[in-house]
Amino acid sequence: MSALDQFPVIPVIVIDDVADAKPLANALLEGGLNIIEVTFRTAAAAGAIEAIANAFPEMLVGAGTVVTPEQAKIAIDSGSKFGLAPGTDPETIAYFKERGIPFIPGIMTPSDIQAAIKAGCEHLKFFPAGAAGGPKLLKAMAAPYAKLGVKFCPTGGVSLDNMNEYLSIPEVFAIGGSWLATKAQIANKDWSAITVQVKEALAKAAQA
């Protein structure tokens, strides 16, 4: 079993200020979750990953929105223990494999799934989950590949209200959630609210 299979929920985080990285990670840990995806959507991403990796070695810190081998190098050198992308880029996948770091490419169609499998990936990101067709589409699309051991992490449009519709699908190993720590909450340093939301999500996941 991969380390990624231990967590039913992966918080998808956008960090604008590196100074917020450690208190945010601590808020997640206080809620019972020791995994985080820091997206490469801001200039602070690499610094935030490095800060979390150094301060909380027990946390599985990953880099999201990694779309080039150059970003992959920065992410891994900063301390990322896994990576994710919205799409499937063979060169980026190859770089992660060379470095021995798990990578979760994004898929939205059966052709995407087959391309990812061909590149040697088993954990895939279904994105954008809600806009693409939600649990109904993922369940139908995953079925032909079930015997190959392919697993999915739906992200995009996933919420506390619908997360278990995804987690009830056998091929889903986790859901990605941006609501667990919103940009506004991070900016306002509302760490206690984030901890509460994590606890709620984990309690909900336990019912799936």
Catalytic machinery residues: 37, 125
DSSP-assigned letters across all residues of 104-140: E-EE-SHHHHHHHHHTT--EEEETTHHHHTHHHHHHH
C-alpha distances in angstroms, 94 versus 84, 122, 146, 204?
A: 13, 14, 24, 36
* Cα separation, 57 vs 28, whole angstroms: 14
C-alpha distances in angstroms, 182 versus 9, 88, 103, 114, 174?
A: 15, 26, 24, 33, 19
Helix runs in 1-160, H state only? 21-30, 45-55, 69-78, 90-99, 110-118, 129-132, 134-142
